[in-house]
């Protein structure tokens, strides 16, 4: 997935798909949008399912695309974002720039 994002190419394997558009890349899990990446941003979504797999894909995307230390995690059945050392509630469509 991250290789396809880095090489700006369409890719699909099992339940994960990378689709290249004119100015951005979209990542889908089970046909649900979980991330959109552009030249200067990474935008994340839960895809309607807050699963371990969704978190894993989002964290892999964040780690490989310049969001050092930023992550998605779960505590007491709630999702949170770690952004620049702070913890905030997960927000669908949150944009890292």
Collapse the DSSP code of 6 into the 3-class scheme (helix H, G, I; strand E, B; otherwise coil) and give the result.
helix
3-state secondary structure 18-73: EEECCCCEEEEECCEEEEEEECCEEEECCCCCCCHHHHHHHHHHHHHCCCCCCEEE
This prediction's pTM? 0.94
Q: Is the pLDDT of residue 38 over 90?
A: yes
Q: Residue 35: how many CB atoms within 10 A of its CB?
A: 25
The average confidence (pLDDT) of the chain is: 95
Summarised one tens digit per residue, pLDDT across range 55-79 is: 999 999 999 997 788 999 999 999 9
Q: Which one-letter DSSP state was computed for residue 80?
A: E
Is residue 97 very low, low, confident or very high in pLDDT (cuts 50, 70, 90)?
A: confident
- Dig out the tokens for 91 from the structure: 């927000």
């Amino acid at each position: 997935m991250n290789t396809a994002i880095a090489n700006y190419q369409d890719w699909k394997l099992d339940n994960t798909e990378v689709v290249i558009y004119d100015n951005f890349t979209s990542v889908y899990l089970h046909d649900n949008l979980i991330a959109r990446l552009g030249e200067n941003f990474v935008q994340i979504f839960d895809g309607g399912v807050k699963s371990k797999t969704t978190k894993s894909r989002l964290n892999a995307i964040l780690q490989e695309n310049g969001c050092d230390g930023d992550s998605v995690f779960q505590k007491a059945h709630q999702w949170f974002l770690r952004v620049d050392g702070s913890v905030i509630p997960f927000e669908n469509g949150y944009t890292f720039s």
